Structure 1
Amino acid sequence: MNRKILHRIGFGPNRQSLERINTIGFEAYLEEQLNPSNQESPKLIEQRRKFKFIQEESEAAGQPFRFLDAQLSELWALVKKEAHQTIPAAEVIINTCLNAIYSPWQLREVMVHFWHNHFNVSIHADERIAATLPLYDKAVIRKNCFGNFRTFLEDVATSQAMLFYLNNASSRASPANENFARELFELHTLGKDNYLNHIYNKWRDVPGATEGQAIGYIDEDIYEAARAFTGWTVADGAWTENGDKPHTGEFLYLEKWHDNYQKRILGVEFEANQGPLADGRKVLDLLAAHPGTARFICQKLCIRFIADDPPESIITKATQTWMQEQDSPQQIRAVLKTILLSKEFRHALGNKIKNPFELLCSMVRILDLDFMPNLNLQWMLEQMGYHLFSWTTPTGHPDQASYWLNSNMMLKRWNSIPSILFDNWHKMATFDVDDLLPPSVQSSKEIVQFFVQKILGNTQQLSQEQRLIRILLTEDQTEDDSPRTYGKEDRQYRFAHLIALILMSPQFQYR
């Protein structure tokens, strides 16, 4: 049970996490995970210290991490020079992999990935997004991943990454750019289920609208919300009719770009000529407090932690907690606790498919490997359909088995597993297979059972034991003989083949 829990609330078990949860129990372990300290594992600290870009990767070849904790002024200097703008994003990609594999605070890392996917931006959409990605990751996503959703929303809306990605940085009155407003409604808050334009095309017809409590939204709400966010931009040095904007990269409210006329959104009247940022903040208030947003986000969280089609009972309980904790600085944490301590969570363990990033991290963690990612990993993940910080559309990656389970995707998974772990060209995994085996494990049968137990947690979970044993046998060997007497190259090849096949098993594809 605890192994399955670690696959579900983290990126899979490793020796330390298994020992911890087995010692203190799930509820105490969850409480620790929901309240992470600043203390990281020595291994994570060591891997960050050791990291250097490899020669063929970029103009940063040979350089260590430089920009993960950089201030905006340092990152924006790259934009001004139009040089090395992609290096900060490359560092975030590598550090994201290291965190997911080696951080003891696994639930935090899962939630960071969840929110990056929810508030998706692509570094390929604009090099300024790549340059400022460390700030988006640390000061927006990581800062708020357990916090208050209303606070989170405003941090996203004023971030350089989102302002550039959804074009609000250039949005000004007459006409406003609708990209951010549409995704704010459809993807970030209310969701498509609360889009009612196919039923109503006049705001007065939407139930609750005349009382200022519209149950859903129509296109008119999006148009009006786009007007509310005009003038929310970035000090990017661009020309305006009244002189160039400052060139600092900071969030900028440009009054002359803002549409100050009255508005009506979700049935609520906005008076004309409100103060700076007031219109946009009022939209965020309405959306964050809306019951439709509560259900939409809670349903997504239940899909991530429970099932592709989670029971209505847990969605309802999570939604109730969300609404009760609306003003709490720990709103999201409270909702997670409701979900993860539920009977629905316990009953659903092991039935969610891992996406390629989750699969990769769980492989490295279960084998306790010394793993140093490089940008070849990004290419490998893309071959499996996972685009880390580069998913093209605002939707983010699907979290449904129907997307990841098809013949093409599975073939790419199977081909990638031995390549990631055992091929030399990418130079990421450094280990000797012999080192994974304790001295007491000698025979072919014992070795197979050891690795099945280590990777899957139960020797009864795999029905192909005899076929796996045959991988280790030469013509004159039996299952009771020891393949550890083979030559090193032959031994490494056979053991690697065995491990890869166990990792390809259906049981390991699920969390």
Structure 2
Amino acid sequence: MLIDYTPKRKKPNKDDSGYRQPKKLTKRPKQPVIKTHAFITGSPKAAATPPNLIHRILTKMAYGPNSDDVAHINQLPGATDHAKVMAYIDEQLNPDTINDAACEQRLTGANGFNTLHKTRQQLYQQHFRKADGDTYEWSVFTRPTREVSLATILRGIHSRRQLKEMMADFWHNHFNISNDSYGVQPMFVHYDRDVIRPNVLGNFREMLYQVTCSTCMLIYLNNGSNRASAPNENYAREVMELHTLGADNYFGHMDWQDVPIDGQGYRSGYVEADVMAMARALTGWSFSGADWWDFQNGNIATGLFLYRDDWHDTGTKRVLGEEFYYTSANPQQDLNQILDLLAQHPGTNRFLAEKLCRRFISDEPNTTIIDAVANTLQQNWQAPDQIKLAMETLLKSNDFLTTWAEKIKRPFERIIGALRQIKYTFEFNPNNEHSGWHFWDIFVTGHQPFYWASPNGYPDVKSHWLGTSSLVGTWKLIQRMAHRHEDYDGNKPILNQVLAETFIGLPNPNDHTATQLVNFWYEKIIGTMPDNSTHNHLADFMASKDCANPVVGNHNDVIDLNDNSWPDKNQDRLYDMVATIFFTPEFIYR
């Protein structure tokens, strides 16, 4: 199945997103108990009952718990849940030590993934430009990005390196590139595999450099054609506004000498002149294939990073009050020194800390934890594991461990969390038409990874994700996956392990009552027992005997789950009851 991409690139309005003009954060008093936040979807609802600690951290630092991960944490060293959780955090902060071979085996050529291991040059020459400069047909052109999209779904469900997957999502949004932008599609494997993923817990300065040199970013924000004769400020502006210092530190057209100096001796923000100097420093940073001459006189473009000295502005650049010089002996020196300044700047590290805390803790995190994470980032800005150290500060803080329901899951997180719980068994083969159906099902929720058009990335605040279209689109997909999945011939095979998980959790058939089934699955999914009202509604449904004319039976009658005959349809009722739990507000909390 081919995915229809419409090339587009729109400069975002600075008022479009909470990222562009972040709300000023104020210090809130520390709470001695777990903090929860109730959100409203139609009618007021009481604050959420916090789930157990293991469930809580798996929902916040992973795509959600499943029985395997819960069992794994319970067998880790430690006499208490807190000790076991600390051991799990340490484990997740070192993803290379986690054996994820079973997940990666799903992403091989044998399963239809033919581009994930191609080199950057192979991607360009086999999917983007032919030797004569012509582009490939659309199905070949878009194949790499389709495979990355399916691999992201698959890893979210099956990977044991769950924190790495969450961090990959975070950094993809931070350095956002829309797959609707023409030219990104054939090179996106390189961006995901070589630029983002190796650096998610590494060093920010290194990742910033790799992004700057990547074919995808050079195309997306037009820096591949940036020349001294006509500097293009598009990427330069986003480097400062979105990737490093942040919009809060922008002082507009103020004279650079009037920008206040902070307590560490840095200019506290940037001005328009800094953006233009940055654009000049970025001239000549391009790739093979960005220029017409790259295909003339027998030349064959490679798609690799290419510094073009004859395009580079060799004048002095002043950024944040400091001057940077070009030298022919080291022609990329000026930009690299500017990247050093931006990476170590207190404003950059606080901006990153705010975003990390917003992602993992709360829409409005305490200034205390922001300060702690920012300090870790800045003090270790040259360390190869800088981000890992910052995440350790964040994940082991009381703010992370004790808050609950101050965030909600965005649609992709709800979908993957549900599929992890039911152990969804679909094989995401790019050659399988139904794999493409999953893509479009997620697309209609408004949260298909890598498809936010503007460079600021998907919003990360509750208010954006409570719209009816997003909620309904998400729920429809989860309901189908938690029940049955139509195949090519119109059959509806079971692609989950709801029944198997039920028999494992409740091995005694006499326990298969509406009451027991509701309690088992609700606690498994939500991490706590349902309140009486929720329990009774779910149990009434589970105890209904006739699917055509349902009449509520006794909640304590045994239900034969080996029988799915008409009219009771016992197994179908179980699937639907489980899907209904995924529709509760409690499931959306994180």
Q: Would you say same fold, with TM above 0.5?
A: yes
1:248 to 271, 279, 302: 302
Instruction: Specify whether residues 26 and 433 from structure 1 end up closer, same or farther in structure 2 by C-alpha distance, changes over 3 A only.
Output: closer
Alignment of 1:183-198 (within 5 A): 183-197=238-252
Q: 1:15 aligns with which of 67, 88, 95?
A: 67
Which residue in 1 is equivalent to 2:47?
none
- Structure 1 residue 431 corresponds to structure 2 residue 507: no
Amino acid at match of 1:208: I
Going from structure 1 to structure 2, the CA distance change for 1:143 and 1:45 (only over 3 Å counts) comes to closer
- 1:477 aligns with 553
* CA pair 243-347 structure 1, distance change in 2 beyond 3 A: same
Query: Is 1:265 equivalent to 2:315 in the alignment?
Result: no
What SS does the aligned partner of 1:298 have?
Answer: helix
1:227 and 2:306 are equivalent in the alignment: no
Who is 1:56 aligned against? none
Residue of structure 1 in register with 2:513 after alignment: 443
3-state SS of 2:64 partner: coil
Query: Aligned residue for 2:375?
Result: 320
* Contact 1:262/1:273 (<8 A) preserved: no
Question: Contact 1:484/1:491 (CA < 8 Å) preserved in 2?
Answer: yes
Indicate the residue corresponding to 1:30 in structure 2.
89
Asked if the contact 2:342–2:348 (Cα under 8 Å) also holds between the matched residues in 1, the reply is: yes
Q: Percent identity of the aligned residues?
A: 35
Residues 423 and 496, structure 2, Cα contact 8 Å, conserved in 1? no
1:492 — aligned with what? 571
Residues 375-409 of structure 1 deviation map (CA, whole Å, 9 limit, x = unaligned): 22221222111032121110100010010123343
Q: What's the counterpart of residue 23 of structure 2?
A: none
- Structure 1: distance between partners of 2:498 and 2:410: 26
What are the superposed Cα offsets for residues 265-317 of structure 1, whole Å, 9 maximum, x if unpaired?
11111235553212211221111011000000010000011100000000011
Q: Residue type of the partner of 1:258?
A: H
Quick check: 411-420 or 336-345, which moved more? 411-420
What is the correspondence of 1:388-403 to structure 2 with a 5 Å cutoff?
388-403=449-464
Q: Counterpart in 1 of 2:447?
A: 386
The amino acid that maps onto 1:504 is F
1:107 corresponds to which letter in structure 2?
L
Alignment counterpart, residue 582 of structure 2, candidates 503, 506, 509: 503
Q: Secondary structure at the match of 1:236?
A: coil
1:432: how far off? 5.7
Q: Using the TM superposition, give the Cα deviation of residue 442 of structure 1 relative to its aligned residue in structure 2, in angstroms.
A: 1.6
1:126 is aligned, of 178, 182, 206, to 182
Q: 1:461 to 1:316 in 2, by over 3 A?
A: farther
Paired residue for 2:483? 422
Q: Distance in 2 between matches of 1:332 and 1:10?
A: 17
Conserved? CA contact 1:213–1:268, under 8 Å: no
Tell me the distance in 1 between the aligned counterparts of 2:257 and 2:380. Answer: 31
Work out the CA distance in 1 between the residues paired with 2:554 and 2:117: 56
Secondary structure of the residue that 2:304 maps to in structure 1?
Answer: strand
Instruction: Kindly state the Cα deviation for residue 492 of structure 1 after the two structures are TM-superposed.
Output: 3.2
Q: One-letter code of the match for 2:472?
A: L
Distance 1:343 1:17, change over 3 A: same
Task: Kindly provide the CA deviation profile for residues 337-373 of structure 1, in whole angstroms up to 9, marking residues without a partner as x.
Answer: 0011111112213421001111111101122232334
Which of 70, 79, 86 is matched with 2:118 structurally? 70
Determine helix, strand or coil for the equivalent of 1:264.
strand
Q: CA 1:237/1:336 → structure 2, altered by over 3 Å: closer, same or farther? A: closer
Deviation at 1:49, TM superposition (A): 5.0
Give the TM-score normalised by the residue count of structure 1.
0.91
For the Cα contact (< 8 Å) 1:378–1:388, is it kept in 2? Answer: no
- Deviation, 1:476, is 7.6
**Which stretch has the larger CA shift, 461-470 or 72-81?**
461-470
Deviation string for 1:422-474 (max 9, x for gaps)? 35347897136432321423212221122112211222457311111121222
Structure 1 pair 466–31 and aligned structure 2 pair: CA distance change class (3 A): same
Matches within 5 A, 1:66-465: 66-77=114-125, 78-81=127-130, 82-83=135-136, 84-127=140-183, 129-197=184-252, 201-208=254-261, 213-236=266-289, 238-240=291-293, 247-273=301-327, 275-373=330-428, 374-425=435-486, 430-431=495-496, 433-438=498-503, 439-440=507-508, 441-461=511-531, 463-465=533-535
Q: Distance in 2 between matches of 1:130 and 1:426?
A: 28
- Structure 1 residue runs without a partner (length 5+): 53-63
Contact 2:424–2:481 (CA under 8 A) maintained in structure 1: no
Using the alignment, how far apart are the partners of 2:109 and 2:287 within structure 1?
35
Q: Is the 8 A contact 1:433 1:492 kept in 2?
A: no
Structure 1 window deviating more from structure 2 (436-445 vs 1-10): it is 436-445
Aligned partner of 1:170: which letter? Answer: S
The answer (yes or no) to whether the contact 2:173–2:458 under 8 Å persists in 1 is: yes
Equivalent-residue separation in structure 2 for 1:402 and 1:96 (angstroms): 25
Q: CA deviation at 1:477?
A: 3.5
Deviations 1:176-223 (A, max 9, x none): 1111100000000000110111xx5211111239x9832101111101
TM-score by length of 2: 0.80
Q: Contact conserved, 1:318 with 1:339, CA < 8 A, in 2?
A: yes
More displaced 10-residue stretch of structure 1: 390-399 or 424-433 = 424-433
- How many residues are aligned here? 496
1:30-69 equivalences in 2 (<5 Å): 30-37=89-96, 39-41=98-100, 43-49=102-108, 52=111, 64-69=112-117
Q: Does structure 1 retain, via aligned residues, the 8 Å contact 2:283–2:313?
A: yes
- Counterpart secondary structure, 1:196: coil
Aligned-partner residue type, residue 261 of structure 1: G
* CA pair 212-88 structure 1, distance change in 2 beyond 3 A: same
Counterpart AA for 1:500: A
- 1:463 is paired with a residue whose SS is helix
Measured at CA, do residues 432 and 207 of structure 1 come closer, stay the same or move farther in structure 2, by a change above 3 Å? closer
Higher relative contact order (CA 8 A, sep 6+): 2
Change (3 A) 1:237 1:322: closer
Give the secondary-structure state (helix, strand or coil) at the position aligned to 2:303: strand
SS in 1 for 2:455: coil
Pick closer, same or farther for the CA change 1:432–1:324 going to 2, 3 Å.
Answer: closer
1-side partners of 2:100 and 2:294: how far apart? 53
The 3 A distance-change label for structure 1 pair 183 and 15 is: same
